[in-house]
Structure 1
Amino acid sequence: MGPKDLINFLNKLEDNNIFYKLNKVRNDAIMVEIAVPGQRWEVEFMADGTVEIEKFIGDDNFYGGQEIEVLFRDFSD
């Protein structure tokens, strides 16, 4: 897959009103971050033409404001 495939993919997301944003976290890839209800997808278009997809699927639980402390306790350097 190449740049044309990335553009076609972005056009299809837009045609289907699916929210996304572009990001770059690797030297050899462009990431498309997609947010849909209960899920977040990271689709990376690699320089060598491969595509990698990682899905983050919610557990349908909601948490109170005290959960912010868990964020800092468990994930701070």
Structure 2
Amino acid sequence: MEIKAIINFLNKLEGSNIFYKLSKVRNEAILVEIAVPGQRWEIEFMEDGTVEIEKFISDGEYYDVKEIERLYKDFID
């Protein structure tokens, strides 16, 4: 995908009031992180022109503050 197409994509997000942020995780890609109600999308625009999309969709459950302890237990060294 050309840079012009990426800019048009970002402009369309902005025009639709969809929150996003740009980052770079891989050497060969630009990452657009999108947050919409109940979902988070990661769209990577690769240097070879391919696009990879990963969606994280909420199950609609909410948790109390005790869940933070689970975060520490399961994911922090």
The bucket for the TM-score relative to the shorter chain is over 0.9
- Unaligned runs of 5+ residues in structure 1 are none
Shift of 1:25: 0.3
Question: 2:20 is matched with which residue?
Answer: 20
Find the residue that maps to 2:22 and give its secondary structure: strand
Q: TM-score, normalised by structure 2?
A: 0.97
Query: What CA distance in whole angstroms lies between the structure 2 residues aligned with 1:5 and 1:75?
Result: 37
RMSD: 0.6
Q: Does 1:53 align with 2:53?
A: yes
Shift of 1:42: 0.2
Q: Percent identity?
A: 71
Q: For 1:1-77, what aligned pairs fall within 5 Å after superposition? A: 1-77=1-77
Deviations 1:11-50 (A, max 9, x none): 0000000000001000000000000000000000000000
| Runs of 4+ in structure 1 over 3 Å off | none
Find the residue that maps to 2:5 and give its secondary structure: helix
How many residues are aligned here? 77
Query: What CA distance in whole angstroms lies between the structure 2 residues aligned with 1:48 and 1:35?
Result: 26
Query: What CA distance in whole angstroms lies between the structure 2 residues aligned with 1:5 and 1:73?
Result: 43
Paired residue type of 1:21:
K
